């Protein structure tokens, strides 16, 4: 809590000391939602703004003045029917300020706040309108969301088949190679994801070549992945070790001896400093540390949840080496803002696991299991603006 307050303070002061200079913030788009008790208008901005709001009566109006902001989007596309807003007018105020006037059917209370960039969203000004009247008629009963401009974007999954090229990964007693097994499973998973509406998928490698660990994380970040899944089938010194495990990144060191062993194995010499991946270079070191830390912790929490769901769906397909999600310092899991898991689909070093892992039938079963786990996770945690989120909103609206 204390850290969060500190962060808010630091972020707030960062915003207010930003030089606006000659380039004004753009108001790019507006979106409108209705919920049970309020109407929400979101302005998508190209940067932070300072603004003020006030209301006028006879006729009822809410006025939002944005300093150093110009309108580049069209507010005329919003579906205002039954929203309580009868019209939206905009105009220049001085040289570079913009005034937005909401004409209201009845008095409404306005609560507003700024949101910093997050996921795929940029800066936003959020305006929540609630009815002042005791019995709000127009906004009390939500039907379908009024936001016709829902992006319904695809959830982006980056699938990472471990090893490749000069790095065969684990090698079984009969010459089975981890890099081949995991490529097949990854390709089957990618195929399954592509078939599903609302998902898009990128493979870190689609053939037998080497990709450094750092590069794998960069690929996930370049594609703005909603999740990253690294697929492995490893070896253990104890040949009887068998079954699947799922790993998320640990906050500190590894949580078990096995985890530590695996992490050393997978990381090799290719260690990665997570700080290099966020553009924190221009920030105060303490602020950078706080942001990174918070982002990491939130990402690990999401990764653990994702890992649990995936582990649950693998349970019917293969034996489990670990009944809960393990945590270790795998370098490929070190994206500060992309929930990431590493799945050991079985042990190449175990004769029985190895025999099954090379068969197309088992590879398909594992890929389907992984898909089901991912799908279930995203049904429960749909990323903002995703097709999946839209589907859930429709369901809720009909409920
Ligand atoms: Zn591996």
Please tell me the distance between residue 297's alpha carbon and the centre of ligand 1 in angstroms.
Answer: 25
C-alpha count within 13 angstroms, C-beta hemisphere, residue 36: 2
Please tell me the distance between residue 355's alpha carbon and the centre of ligand 1 in angstroms.
Answer: 17
Please tell me the distance between residue 75's alpha carbon and the centre of ligand 1 in angstroms.
Answer: 52
Q: How far is CA 30 from the centre of its chain?
A: 22
Contact 201, 227 (CB under 8 A): no
Over residues 223-244, the pLDDT tens digits come to 999 999 999 998 888 899 999 9
Please tell me the distance between residue 314's alpha carbon and the centre of ligand 1 in angstroms.
Answer: 18
C-alpha count within 13 angstroms, C-beta hemisphere, residue 333: 33
Pairing of strands 97-104, 85-93: antiparallel
Looking at the DSSP assignment, which residues form a beta bridge with residue 128? 40, 111
Please tell me the distance between residue 87's alpha carbon and the centre of ligand 1 in angstroms.
Answer: 59
Pairing of strands 245-249, 326-328: parallel
Please tell me the distance between residue 233's alpha carbon and the centre of ligand 1 in angstroms.
Answer: 6
Please tell me the distance between residue 374's alpha carbon and the centre of ligand 1 in angstroms.
Answer: 20
Please tell me the distance between residue 210's alpha carbon and the centre of ligand 1 in angstroms.
Answer: 13
In angstroms, what CA-CA distances link 280 with 119, 133, 274, 286, 372? Answer: 16, 47, 11, 10, 36
Please tell me the distance between residue 163's alpha carbon and the centre of ligand 1 in angstroms.
Answer: 6
Please tell me the distance between residue 349's alpha carbon and the centre of ligand 1 in angstroms.
Answer: 12
Please tell me the distance between residue 176's alpha carbon and the centre of ligand 1 in angstroms.
Answer: 13
Angle at 218 (CA atoms; ends 217, 219), nearest 5 degrees? 90
- Give CA–CA dist 170/161, Å, rounded: 13
> What does the pLDDT read at residue 7?
44
Looking at the DSSP assignment, which residues form a beta bridge with residue 347? 234
CATH topology of domain 155-390: Aminopeptidase (3.40.630)
Angle at 69 (CA atoms; ends 64, 70), nearest 5 degrees? 100
CATH topology of domain 23-131: Immunoglobulin-like (2.60.40)
List per-residue pLDDT tens for the chain, 399 residues long: 344 444 444 444 333 333 343 478 888 888 888 777 788 888 888 888 888 888 877 788 888 888 888 888 778 788 888 888 888 888 877 777 888 888 888 888 888 888 888 877 888 888 888 887 644 444 444 444 455 678 899 999 999 999 999 999 999 999 999 999 999 999 999 999 999 999 999 999 999 999 999 899 889 988 999 999 999 998 888 899 999 999 998 876 434 444 555 565 565 433 333 333 344 455 555 555 555 566 677 788 899 999 999 999 999 899 999 999 998 888 888 777 789 999 999 999 999 999 999 999 999 999 999 999 999 999 999 988 899 999 988 888 776
Please tell me the distance between residue 164's alpha carbon and the centre of ligand 1 in angstroms.
Answer: 10
> What does the pLDDT read at residue 369?
97
Closest by CA to 327, choosing from 345, 309, 314, 340, is 340
Please tell me the distance between residue 262's alpha carbon and the centre of ligand 1 in angstroms.
Answer: 8
Angle at 290 (CA atoms; ends 288, 292), nearest 5 degrees? 65
In the chain, residues under CATH classification 2.60.40.3500 are: 23-131
> What does the pLDDT read at residue 284?
56
Please tell me the distance between residue 354's alpha carbon and the centre of ligand 1 in angstroms.
Answer: 14
Please tell me the distance between residue 201's alpha carbon and the centre of ligand 1 in angstroms.
Answer: 21
Please tell me the distance between residue 120's alpha carbon and the centre of ligand 1 in angstroms.
Answer: 31
Please tell me the distance between residue 231's alpha carbon and the centre of ligand 1 in angstroms.
Answer: 7
In the chain, residues under CATH classification 3.40.630.40 are: 155-390
């Amino acid at each position: 809590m204390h850290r969060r307050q500190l962060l808010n303070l630091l972020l707030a002061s960062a915003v207010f000391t930003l030089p606006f200079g000659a380039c004004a913030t753009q108001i790019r788009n507006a979106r409108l939602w209705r919920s049970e008790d309020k109407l929400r208008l979101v302005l998508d901005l190209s940067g932070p703004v300072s603004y003020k709001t006030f209301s006028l009566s006879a006729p009822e109006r809410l006025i939002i003045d944005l300093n150093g902001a110009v309108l580049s989007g069209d507010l005329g596309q919003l579906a205002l029917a039954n929203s309580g807003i009868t019209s939206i007018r905009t105009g220049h105020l001085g040289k570079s300020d913009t005034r937005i006037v909401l004409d209201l059917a009845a008095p409404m209370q306005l609560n507003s706040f700024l949101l910093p960039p997050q996921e795929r969203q940029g800066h936003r000004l959020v305006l929540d309108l609630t009815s002042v009247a005791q019995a709000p008629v127009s906004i009390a009963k939500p039907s379908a969301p009024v936001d016709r401009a829902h992006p319904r974007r695809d959830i982006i999954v980056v699938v990472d088949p471990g090893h490749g090229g000069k790095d065969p990964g684990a090698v079984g007693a009969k010459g089975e190679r981890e890099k081949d097994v995991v490529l097949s499973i990854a390709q089957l998973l990618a195929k399954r994801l592509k078939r599903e509406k609302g998902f898009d998928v990128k493979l870190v490698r689609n053939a037998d070549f080497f990709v450094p660990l750092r590069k794998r994380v960069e690929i996930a970040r370049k594609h703005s992945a909603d999740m990253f899944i690294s697929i492995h089938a490893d070896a253990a010194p104890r040949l009887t070790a068998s079954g699947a495990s799922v790993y998320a990144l640990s906050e500190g060191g590894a949580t078990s001896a096995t985890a530590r062993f695996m992490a050393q194995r997978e990381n090799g010499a290719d260690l990665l400093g997570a700080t290099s991946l966020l553009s924190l270079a221009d920030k105060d070191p303490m602020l950078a540390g706080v942001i990174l830390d918070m982002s990491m912790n939130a990402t690990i929490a999401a990764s653990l949840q994702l890992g649990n769901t995936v582990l649950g769906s693998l349970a019917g397909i293969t034996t489990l080496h670990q009944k809960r999600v393990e945590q270790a310092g795998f370098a490929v899991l070190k994206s500060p803002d992309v929930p990431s898991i590493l799945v050991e689909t079985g042990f190449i070093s175990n004769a029985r696991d190895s025999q099954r892992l090379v068969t197309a039938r088992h590879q398909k079963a594992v890929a389907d299991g992984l898909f089901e786990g991912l799908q279930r996770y995203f049904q429960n945690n749909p990323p903002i603006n995703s097709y999946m989120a839209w589907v859930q909103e429709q369901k809720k609206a009909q409920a």
